[in-house]
């Protein structure tokens, strides 16, 4: 095999990629052909290959040098530009100073750096104690500390860090802030700090974190509730109030926050809660409500006194806010909260209604009980709630019916689910005894209710019953007893005669005997929204719990 020494190509495939693999022996990397040459030719070829390698190295070095040269040129240009700008600025300054008399030359004042920090020793901490917050198995251990501001200055977002130990072993550390954005001079506030659960804690070290004043603050009048109720239902305590913007300077206020604290008869803190107004901003004359749930601990102790304070800010047109500092803003009340049945659903607006807005519960009547049986022949009773008013709608009526057999209590039944009850309307109710076969007496605790004048809030609908069919059914109990019962299939339509869409329609269908007494009822589920002029059909199977039915009546709600 031969090799072209002038062009340095493989004689077999023409490739110029040759590699020396032995004495006078060269191998083509492309086709693998091996060529043996004379010694002088071999030396010449080796020199040529080395020249090729050296030339490639020189090209790489030249490219790198060129890149470095370009980089240095750019850096130099940047330095010259910066120096030019500085020089031009200095020349302009000298020119301006030369045109002003010495006494009129402007003086450049350095901005003062305000140190907002306050020594931490001024926030005094009371003796900490471990408490359980919550009920039953969900109760969480917390560390309660009462912090008092004795710095003489308002404190913004003051914080406390607790480090927990088991003997000399450090377990964990947790931090918590005072539950009010600004703690005024002389004020105290309780702080609940999380504790590591499932660990033996023998002691804790408390450290006040960095203290500072608010960035923007101004003195102003204190804010108080125009209406206020402290309500207790079982272990749950709520502070419900209405607050208004009564400032005389027509300023808009915002960021309304409330801190309420409970005390026992020894003055010890036994609960507190923090919350905000439902409206973020209040124009002059406007008002908002606050419904604050208070975390309770030390439930064995009765509530003997309580206080609250309201923090707020003024709001500029730009949206900027300035905290308002108010002296003596803590308002204290001696006395226990109002108590209500835990089963009552007490709405914020129901509790805060003025006397002129309230519905008189004496206008509601619970009709005599009607004896009945369910589909497995267990005893039950039917009754109806009637609005005896002639011109007033009861809004969200509700109450708790306590049942008795002789002097023995037999549980309660909650009246709920109504948005309103119009004059003369009847709302059907089941009373189902637990351990006894008869109910001799009922007592009702009504919730606070509001009223509305006619025509009231309900959108009118036309409900028609188009057909009824008496049926008999059966049910197998425990695979051993079979019971038969009577029911009625009721068909009808609900039409919207108005001009707006009616949604969230609820409909109750009641069966009545020849004397007009209730003998069974059921709520129709899943009625759709109804467009103006349209009607939707309904069909429901109603169990007959009393005497044979003779007629059907309906009651509906719209929201």
Question: Between residues 36 and 357, which one has the greater pLDDT?
Answer: 357
Distance of CA 273 to the CA centre of its chain: 16
pLDDT for res 28: 76
| 3-class DSSP state of 531 | coil
Strand blocks (E) in 184-304: 188-194, 203-208, 211-212, 217-219, 225-233, 236-244, 252-263, 269-276, 281-282, 287-296
**pLDDT beyond 70 at 413:** yes
Contact 230, 337 (CB under 8 A): yes
Stretch among 199-208, 404-413, 525-534, 550-559 having the lowest mean pLDDT: 404-413
**What is the share, in percent, of the chain residues with pLDDT greater than 70?**
80
Return the minimum-mean-pLDDT range out of 69-73, 100-104, 192-196, 204-208.
100-104
395: β partners: 420, 450
SS3 per residue for 312-371: EEEECCCCCEEEEECCCCCEEEECCCEECCCCCCCCHHHHHCCHHHECCHHHEEECCCEE
User: Which pLDDT belongs to residue 109?
Assistant: 39
Higher per-residue pLDDT: 556 or 135: 556
**Dihedral (CA of 15, 20, 25, 27) sign:** negative
The topology under which CATH files domain 217-339 is Immunoglobulin-like (2.60.40)
Q: Which residue intervals of 143-283 are DSSP H helices?
A: none
Q: How far is the C-alpha of 295 from the C-alpha of 35, rounded, in Å?
A: 96
Domain boundaries, the chain: 3-79, 118-212, 217-339, 360-557
Mean pLDDT of the chain: 85
- Alpha carbons 472 and 453: distance in angstroms, whole number: 44
Task: Give the model confidence (pLDDT) of 314-332 as tens digits.
Answer: 999 888 999 999 989 999 9
If one counts every other C-beta atom within 10 angstroms of the C-beta of residue 22, the result is 10
Tokens representing 377 are: 């022949």
In the block, tokens 């890149």 appear at 67
CA distance 401 to 412: 5
Judge if 118-212 and 217-339 fold alike in CATH terms. yes
Checking if the pLDDT of 271 tops 60, the result is: yes
Q: Is the pLDDT of residue 5 over 50?
A: no
* CATH dotted code for 118-212: 2.60.40
Query: Is the CB of residue 143 less than 8 Å from the CB of residue 154?
Result: no
Q: Which of 378, 380, 476 is nearest to 431 (CA)?
A: 380
The Cβ-side half-sphere exposure at 398, using a 13 Å CA radius, reads: 18
**Among candidates 539, 530, 545, which has minimal Cα distance to 467?**
539
Contact predicate 173/161, CB 8 Å = yes
In tens, the pLDDT along 272-287 reads 999 999 998 999 999 9
Band (pLDDT 50/70/90 cuts) for residue 113 is very low
Neighbour count for residue 208 (Cβ, 10 Å):
18
pLDDT score at 9:
66
What's the Cα-to-Cα distance from 127 to each of 138, 205, 206, 485, rounded to whole Å? Answer: 26, 11, 10, 68
- List of residues 6+ apart from 169 with CB closer than 8 A: none
Whole-prediction pTM value? 0.72
Residue by residue, DSSP assigns 460-490 as P-EEEEEEEEEEEEEEEETTTEEEEEEEEEE
32: pLDDT strictly greater than 90: no
Strands ordered across the beta sheet of 551-557: 518-524, 506-512, 551-557
CB 323 within 8 A of CB 267: no
């Amino acid at each position: 095999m031969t090799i072209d020494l002038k062009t340095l190509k493989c004689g077999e495939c023409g490739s110029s990629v040759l590699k020396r693999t032995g004495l006078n022996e060269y191998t083509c990397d492309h086709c693998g052909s091996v060529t043996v040459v004379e010694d002088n030719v071999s030396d010449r070829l080796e020199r040529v290959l080395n020249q090729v390698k050296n030339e490639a190295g020189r090209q790489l070095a030249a490219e790198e040098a060129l890149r470095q040269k370009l980089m240095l040129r750019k850096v130099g240009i940047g330095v010259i530009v910066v120096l030019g700008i500085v020089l031009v600025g200095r020349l302009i300054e000298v020119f301006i100073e030369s045109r002003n008399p010495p006494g009129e030359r402007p003086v450049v004042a350095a901005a003062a750096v305000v140190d907002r920090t306050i020594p931490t020793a001024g926030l005094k901490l009371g003796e900490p104690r471990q408490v359980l917050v919550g009920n039953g198995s969900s109760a969480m251990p917390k560390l309660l500390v009462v912090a008092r501001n004795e710095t003489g200055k308002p404190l913004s977002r003051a914080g406390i860090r607790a480090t927990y130990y088991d003997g000399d072993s450090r377990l964990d550390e947790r931090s918590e802030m005072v539950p009010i954005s600004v703690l005024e001079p002389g004020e105290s506030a309780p702080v609940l700090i999380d504790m590591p659960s499932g660990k033996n804690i023998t002691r804790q070290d408390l450290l006040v974190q960095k203290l500072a004043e608010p960035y923007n603050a101004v003195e102003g009048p204190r804010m108080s509730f125009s209406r206020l109720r402290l309500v207790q239902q079982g272990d749950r305590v709520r502070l419900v109030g209405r607050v208004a913007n009564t400032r005389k300077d027509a300023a808009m206020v915002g960021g309304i926050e409330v801190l309420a604290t409970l005390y026992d008869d020894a003055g010890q803190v036994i609960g507190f809660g923090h919350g905000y107004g439902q409206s973020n901003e209040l124009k002059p004359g406007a008002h908002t409500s606050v419904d604050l749930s208070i975390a309770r601990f030390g439930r064995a102790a009765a509530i003997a006194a309580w206080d609250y304070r309201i923090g707020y800010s003024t709001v500029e047109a730009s949206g900027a806010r300035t905290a308002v500092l108010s002296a003596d803003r803590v308002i204290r009340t001696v006395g226990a909260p109002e108590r209500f049945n835990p089963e009552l659903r007490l709405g914020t607006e129901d509790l805060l209604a003025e006397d002129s807005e309230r519905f008189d519960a004496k206008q509601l009547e619970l009709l005599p009980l009607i004896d009945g049986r369910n589909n497995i022949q267990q005893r039950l009773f039917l009754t109806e709630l009637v609005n005896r008013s002639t011109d007033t709608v009861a809004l969200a009526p509700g109450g708790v019916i306590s049942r008795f057999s002789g002097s023995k209590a037999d549980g309660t039944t909650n009246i709920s689910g109504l948005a309103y009850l119009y004059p003369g309307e009847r709302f059907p109710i089941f009373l189902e005894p637990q351990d006894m076969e008869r109910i001799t007496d009922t007592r009702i605790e009504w919730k606070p209710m509001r009223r509305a004048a006619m025509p009231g809030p309900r959108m009118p609908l036309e409900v028609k019953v188009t057909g009824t069919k008496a049926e008999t059914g059966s049910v197998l109990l425990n695979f051993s007893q079979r019971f038969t019962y009577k029911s009625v299939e009721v068909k009808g339509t609900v039409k919207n005669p108005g001009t707006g869409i009616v949604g969230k329609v609820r409909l109750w269908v009641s069966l009545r005997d020849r004397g007009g007494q209730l003998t069974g009822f059921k709520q129709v589920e899943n009625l759709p929204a109804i467009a103006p002029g349209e009607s939707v059909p309904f069909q429901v199977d109603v169990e007959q719990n009393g005497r044979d039915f003779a007629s059907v009546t309906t009651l509906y709600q719209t929201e």
